[in-house]
């Protein structure tokens, strides 16, 4: 068969080689982050609604629904766990390697892949090492495809975590199940018709459903492919292929010869979030935090906060007066006001009660969004904005924001990622089990059966 984008993916997955140690070490950090978020996300309303629907007929199965004392089918477990991991919008974000791909807006790469790999791995009794390899492969497929498609895919309103997350989940599942070439091509063909997600649903429960459905779709597609359920064998290519239909084409030089060369998880890397909200606002919130801390500011010291940015930030973060905690995740008025009031913005701040508190409503009234042509002209290769804080004494404090903690430019220490995990997991697990789980993940490649870990991820 001629060399195509589909063939690049298939050939990469069929090589089956274990990635170098630095890649594995980086992957484990993202798995720590992702599993912590699954545990924290299990407490959210959207996850509980979905869990109740899935478990309406008490369909027990081989795979754990993280954070609950329940099991279900691999596809349903992947669905619920994927929603949990993305429910707080606290999961990692893929970075681009070229300016036209809009930095920070490609995918949330860990969630769909990890949710799928965990469910399938538990079903088949995979070793931790095999699960780790499958996670890395799925992460790579998701990231490379998301960057290969023309940027119109995202700009036209598709949510790449839903669309390309499904391919990453399919790749990880297929690797664990040991699909042969024809079966793998069928699986990719199937998942191409299942992948979905539109940005209109940002700020609602359906945004995390994109990630959960991507994980579940990947599991279903791989299992159908294994059973030789037929589909187009070259589905990513050609006039009617996925890349043309959903993005107007692709840039072959971003994937041909590039699968695992280098791995996207280390070059350009992915960001691990410090705030549970849209990635585009994180540099601005860090800049605001620096101003507030450096000047020892209290809310009453501030007359007005102005955020100057281009449409790449202001359009997605569109809720000027959010009505609930989901909209607050896509509101810089909330994020900047939160930093001013609490000097932090974590899971305990992104609540309806805090959103509606008099102190927050008062602080949010001070925050103004300004579409700034000068900032917009700087391009979208960074998440640029200018934060201006006008004080009551007449001074105006100003900072340019273009990156945030947790990005490759400002990486988190392993201990900081561990602290985030403890905070997230602590919503569900007691302290002893939190430590046990964290230790197991750090030694993931040494676990003979992944069920040793998943049993601890149930509530307790």
Tell me the average pLDDT across 343-354.
96
Query: Percent of the chain having pLDDT more than 70?
Result: 98
| Whole-number Cα distances in Å, 32 to 114, 200, 374, 436 | 10, 30, 39, 12
CA torsion, points 7, 13, 15, 20, in degrees to nearest 10? 130
Mean pLDDT of the chain: 94
| Whole-number Cα distances in Å, 163 to 152, 305, 346 | 13, 36, 28
Q: Where are the domains of the chain?
A: 5-273+411-457, 279-401
Strand partners for 198? 158
pLDDT digits (tens, 9 = 90+) for 39-64: 999 999 999 999 999 988 767 899 99
pLDDT computed for residue 381 by the predictor = 78
Q: How confident is the model at residue 1 (pLDDT cuts 50, 70, 90)?
A: very low
Residue of 198, 182, 192 whose CA lies nearest to 238? 192
Specify the CATH number for 279-401; select among 3.80.30.20, 3.30.70.20, 3.30.70.141, 3.30.1330.120: 3.30.1330.120
Q: Is 230 a residue whose pLDDT tops 50?
A: yes
Architecture (CATH level 2) of domain 5-273+411-457 = Orthogonal Bundle (1.10)
pLDDT computed for residue 227 by the predictor = 98
Q: Do domains 5-273+411-457 and 279-401 have the same CATH topology?
A: no
Q: Is 271 a residue whose pLDDT tops 70?
A: yes
Tell me the average pLDDT across 122-144.
97
pLDDT digits (tens, 9 = 90+) for 415-431: 999 999 999 999 999 99
Say which range, 9-18, 71-80, 282-291, has the weakest mean pLDDT.
9-18
């Amino acid at each position: 068969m001629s060399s195509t984008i589909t063939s690049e993916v298939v050939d990469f997955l069929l090589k089956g080689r274990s990635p170098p140690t630095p890649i594995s070490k980086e992957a484990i950090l993202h798995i720590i982050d992702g599993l912590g978020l699954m545990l924290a996300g299990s407490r959210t309303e959207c996850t509980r609604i979905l869990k109740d629907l899935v478990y309406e007929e008490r369909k027990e199965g081989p795979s754990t629904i993280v954070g609950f004392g329940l099991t279900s089918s691999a596809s349903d477990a992947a669905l619920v766990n994927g929603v949990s991991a993305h429910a707080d919008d606290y999961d990692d974000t893929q970075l681009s390697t070229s300016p036209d791909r809009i930095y920070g807006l490609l995918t949330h790469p860990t969630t769909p892949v990890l949710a799928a790999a965990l469910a399938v791995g538990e079903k088949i009794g995979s070793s931790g090492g095999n699960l780790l390899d499958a996670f890395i492969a799925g992460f790579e497929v998701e990231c490379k495809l998301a960057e290969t498609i023309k940027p119109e895919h995202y700009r036209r309103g598709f949510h790449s975590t839903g669309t390309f997350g499904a391919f990453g989940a399919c790749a990880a599942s297929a690797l664990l199940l040991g699909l042969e070439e024809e079966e793998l091509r069928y699986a990719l063909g199937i998942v191409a018709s299942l992948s979905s997600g539109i940005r209109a649903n940002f700020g609602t429960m359906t945004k995390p459903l994109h990630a959960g459905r991507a994980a579940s779709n990947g599991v279903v597609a791989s299992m159908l492919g294994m059973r030789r359920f037929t589909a187009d064998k070259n589905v990513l290519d050609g006039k009617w292929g996925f890349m043309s239909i959903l993005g107007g084409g692709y840039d072959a030089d971003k994937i041909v010869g590039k699968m695992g060369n280098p791995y996207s998880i280390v070059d350009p890397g992915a960001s691990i979030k410090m705030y549970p909200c849209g990635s585009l606002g994180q540099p601005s919130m860090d800049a605001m935090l620096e101003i507030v801390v450096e000047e020892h500011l209290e809310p009453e010291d501030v007359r007005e906060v102005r955020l100057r940015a281009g449409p790449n930030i202001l359009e997605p973060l569109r809720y000027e007066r959010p009505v609930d905690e989901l909209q607050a995740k896509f509101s810089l008025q909330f994020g900047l006001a939160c930093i001013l009031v609490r000097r932090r913005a974590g899971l305990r701040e992104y609540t309806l009660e805090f959103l509606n508190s008099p102190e927050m409503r008062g602080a949010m009234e001070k925050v103004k969004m300004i579409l700034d042509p000068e900032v917009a002209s700087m391009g979208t290769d960074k998440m640029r904005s200018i934060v201006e804080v006008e004080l009551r004494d007449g001074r105006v404090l100003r900072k340019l924001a273009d990156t945030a903690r947790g990005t490759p430019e400002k990486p988190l220490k392993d201990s900081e990622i561990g602290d985030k995990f403890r905070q997230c997991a602590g919503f569900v697990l007691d302290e002893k089990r939190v430590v046990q789980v964290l230790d197991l993940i750090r030694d993931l490649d040494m676990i003979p059966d992944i069920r040793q870990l998943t049993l601890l991820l149930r509530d307790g």
